[in-house]
Each structure stands twice: as structure tokens, then as C-alpha cells.
């Protein structure tokens, strides 16, 4: 067993940390920034950060540019809808609750994957997601109160799940950095008119830090890492590992002063158990074999 074998999983864990660690930060930044102003600046920073690398890759490697632009455009639209719903919803709920309902996308991924890819995830993956979903419920304090903010966040989860499945279909065929750059550029362009209408809001040091950190860390780096990992990991397993996002969100929110009881701590433990069963249990090899078979079938249909 080598560490290299787990590069894909490690990349997803790092991405989940970036995703989950920013909920409290964004919540505070939105006190002064407008939602669309924040999103425009965040994704503009992310795009600018990746463009030099994308240009170098474009010069050194032959790519199907038509496919890159098409896939990047569609993926960018899915991301745009997801992040608008999440960011607006975050104004009306707590960071930990937003992270919880965002992560409900893990429940949608196997359904979308079964319909779109004609592939049912392996039983061990389904069991892992089911256990981790129970953990999510406890992590949220055994509370399923659905308000305006949480409803918007569920919309975010649905489109994010669709994005995970869609990226999984093309991750092996396009360079991760190139694909991420096109997606981020699309989100930036679509955010621009709305940002003009809403305005940017007030920019202070906290806002600048939030924009730069989420733009580079959570967008440029995390999206590239996730796309890279999906070259070897199925969408359902990807969604399962990304359930670490609310765990990181709770840890960071606790550092910000938000209180979490024993039930929430139990939820975090249950999520880790669900992930461990799939990733380190006896069914891991079957899950990996199912991933390879599904990718082969998808490749043949795409050709």
C-alpha cells in the first residue's frame, strides 16, 4: 500500500477543508458585501490566479478546445446557480446549517449518477453515504428546520451534485486546471451583470481577506484538486468524501464561538465512520473496480 494510491482521496480532503473552513468567514464578509458583488470578486480573483497556468498548459499540451469550452461552460452554469443559491441562503441561516444542507448534495449524487451515467454505485458506497447522512443530521443538532435560507441551500446542493456528476464524466479527458479556469471564467461573467445591479457593498480588510482566500483557496485550488481527484474517483465516492466539508465547517465555526453540543459531535464521528467504511473497509476494492467499469462504459458512450 503506497501513499500515491490515495492521492485522489487526499486531494478531496484538502478541497473539503477549503470548502468547509470558509462558511463563517463568508457569513461575516456578507455583512458589508452584497452577495453578487462578493461572488463576482471571488471568482474574478480565482480566474486571474489560474489564467497564467492555463496558458502554459495550452501551449505545452494539445487539448480538444471545443470540448473544453463546451464542458467548461455547462459546468460553469451549474456552479453559478449553486453558488448564488448558497451565498444568498447564507444570509438567512448559520454557517454550520448552510454547510449541513450544502452537503445534502451527497444524497443527490447517487440518484443523478444512476440516471445520467446508467450506473448504480456499489453497495459499500451507498451504505457509507447512508451512514454519513445520518451523521449529517446529528451534526446539525438533529434539526431539519426548513426556512428560506435552508431552502435556497438545498437548491445549491442539488446543482452542486449535478456538477460533481458532470465533471466526473469529463475529468479524464480534460486538464484539471484548464477545465477549472474556464468554469471560473463563466461564473465571473454571469456574476458581473448582477453585481452591477446590486453594487459591491463596502470593502474592508475582512472583505478583502475573504475574497482573496475563497478566490484562491476555495475556488482556484480546491476546484482544481477536486477535478484532478475525479479522474480516479467516482462522483458518489467524491460526494461521500466531501461530507468532510461540514465537519470542517463545524470545527471552524466552533473556533468562531458557535456552540455545538454532544449530538453534533456524535454526528461528526458518524460521518467519519461512514467515510471510513467505504474508503478503508473490505469493500474498497469492489468500489474502485466499479468506478473503473463505470468510467469505461461512459468513455465508450462518449465516443
pLDDT digits (tens, 9 = 90+) for 60-96: 777 788 899 999 999 999 999 998 998 888 878 777 6
In the chain, how many domains are there? 1
pTM: predicted TM-score of the whole model, two decimal places: 0.81
Q: What is the mean pLDDT of residues 42-50?
A: 96
Separation CA 166–CA 235 (nearest Å): 9
Question: Is 285 a residue whose pLDDT tops 80?
Answer: no
Q: Is 83 helix (H, G, I), strand (E, B) or coil?
A: helix
- The whole domain housing 115 covers 3-302
pLDDT of 127 reads 81
- Under the banding of pLDDT at 50, 70 and 90, the label for residue 224 is very high
Q: Is 201 helix (H, G, I), strand (E, B) or coil?
A: strand
Nearest 10 degrees: CA dihedral of 101, 251, 234, 161? 20
**Cβ neighbours for 223, distance < 8 A, ≥ 6 positions apart:** 15, 46, 180, 183, 184
Report whether 274 contacts 130 (CB < 8 A). Answer: yes
**How many Cα atoms occupy the beta-carbon half-sphere of 78 within 13 Å?**
20
Instruction: Round the average pLDDT of the chain to a whole number and report it.
Output: 82
pLDDT of 217 reads 92
pLDDT of 226 reads 92
Q: What is the mean pLDDT of residues 23-38?
A: 87
Q: Which three cell numbers stand for residue 238?
A: 467524491
- Under the banding of pLDDT at 50, 70 and 90, the label for residue 149 is confident
Q: What is the DSSP letter of 303?
A: -
Environment class of 261 (CB within 10 Å of its CB; exposed 0-12, middle 13-18, buried 19+): exposed
**Cβ neighbours for 23, distance < 8 A, ≥ 6 positions apart:** 90, 95, 96, 98, 99, 249, 252, 253
pLDDT digits (tens, 9 = 90+) for 242-260: 888 878 887 887 777 776 6
Higher-scoring residue by pLDDT: 103, 168: 168
Q: What is the mean pLDDT of residues 192-212?
A: 91
Amino acid at each position: 500500500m503506497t501513499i500515491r494510491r490515495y492521492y485522489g482521496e487526499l486531494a478531496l480532503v484538502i478541497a473539503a477543508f477549503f470548502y468547509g473552513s470558509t462558511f463563517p468567514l463568508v457569513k461575516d464578509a456578507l455583512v458589508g458585501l452584497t452577495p453578487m458583488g462578493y461572488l463576482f470578486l471571488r471568482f474574478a480573483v480565482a480566474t486571474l490566479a489560474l489564467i497564467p497556468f492555463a496558458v502554459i498548459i495550452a501551449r505545452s499540451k494539445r487539448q480538444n478546445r471545443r470540448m473544453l469550452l463546451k464542458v467548461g461552460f455547462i459546468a460553469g452554469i451549474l456552479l453559478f446557480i449553486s453558488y448564488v443559491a448558497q451565498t444568498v441562503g447564507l444570509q438567512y441561516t448559520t454557517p454550520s446549517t448552510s454547510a449541513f444542507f450544502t452537503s445534502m448534495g451527497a444524497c443527490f449524487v447517487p440518484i443523478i449518477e444512476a440516471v445520467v451515467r446508467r450506473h448504480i454505485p456499489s453497495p459499500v458506497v451507498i451504505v457509507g453515504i447512508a451512514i454519513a447522512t445520518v451523521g449529517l443530521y446529528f451534526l446539525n443538532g438533529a434539526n431539519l428546520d426548513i426556512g428560506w435560507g435552508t431552502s435556497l441551500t438545498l437548491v445549491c446542493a442539488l446543482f452542486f451534485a449535478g456538477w460533481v456528476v458532470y465533471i466526473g464524466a469529463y475529468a479524464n479527458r480534460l486538464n484539471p486546471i484548464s477545465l477549472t479556469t474556464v468554469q471560473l471564467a463563466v461564473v465571473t461573467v454571469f456574476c458581473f451583470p448582477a453585481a452591477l445591479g446590486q453594487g459591491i457593498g463596502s470593502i474592508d480588510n475582512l472583505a478583502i481577506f475573504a475574497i482573496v482566500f475563497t478566490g484562491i483557496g476555495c475556488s482556484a485550488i480546491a476546484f482544481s484538486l477536486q477535478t484532478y481527484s475525479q479522474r480516479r474517483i467516482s462522483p458518489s465516492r467524491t460526494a461521500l468524501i466531501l461530507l468532510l466539508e461540514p465537519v470542517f465547517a463545524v470545527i471552524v465555526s466552533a473556533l468562531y464561538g458557535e456552540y455545538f453540543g454532544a449530538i453534533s459531535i456524535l454526528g461528526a464521528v458518524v460521518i467519519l465512520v461512514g467515510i471510513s467504511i467505504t474508503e478503508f473497509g473490505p469493500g474498497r476494492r469492489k468500489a474502485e473496480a466499479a468506478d473503473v467499469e463505470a468510467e469505461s462504459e461512459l468513455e465508450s458512450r462518449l465516443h
